[in-house]
Structure 1
């Protein structure tokens, strides 16, 4: 069964409830996501992305994962 952008957003939102999250893609396998969250402050990009991938709960695991590819951008919110 193909995964939907809304499913990916919901999984990320569970871990990052206050984040600004945008997920694009409609082929059921290839997506792009932007996650902006204060919890990323003090983390490097690899740490930020690992935290988001962990929130996906195995949906990208190997050839049996529902999600084939996710181009991920993570950021800390800009100061007002």
Structure 2
């Protein structure tokens, strides 16, 4: 799955998300993503990851084989 599609899917589920993607292998199949969203504030890391994973439906583990996630709320100023 190309990076633009991954970002589109995440932002369609979490509109305020800031998404940074890094290819783990040069095959469009293994990615690391850092996702920052106000929506994550107060949620456990597991809940944050569940929100991101839900954006992919049944495509995660198939069309997108691996997605290593780092999630957090924006830093307060």
Does the CA-based 8 Å contact 1:20-1:36 persist in structure 2? yes
User: Unaligned stretches of 5+ in structure 1?
Assistant: none
Does the CA-based 8 Å contact 1:45-1:74 persist in structure 2? yes
Q: What does 1:1-80 correspond to in 2, within 5 Å?
A: 3-25=1-23, 26-61=26-61, 65-80=62-77
**C-alpha distance in 1 between matches for 2:57 and 2:20:** 18
User: Unaligned stretches of 5+ in structure 2?
Assistant: none
Moved more, 16-25 or 48-57: 16-25
RMSD of aligned alpha carbons: 1.0
1:21 deviates by: 0.7
SS at 1:21 equivalent:
strand
Normalising by the residue count of structure 2, what TM-score does the alignment of the two structures yield? 0.90
Which deviations, in whole Å up to 9, do the C-alpha atoms of 1:12-50 show, x marking residues without a partner?
A: 000111111111214111000010000111110000001
Greater than 3 Å deviation, 4+ residue runs: none
**C-alpha distance in 2 between matches for 1:24 and 1:70:** 10
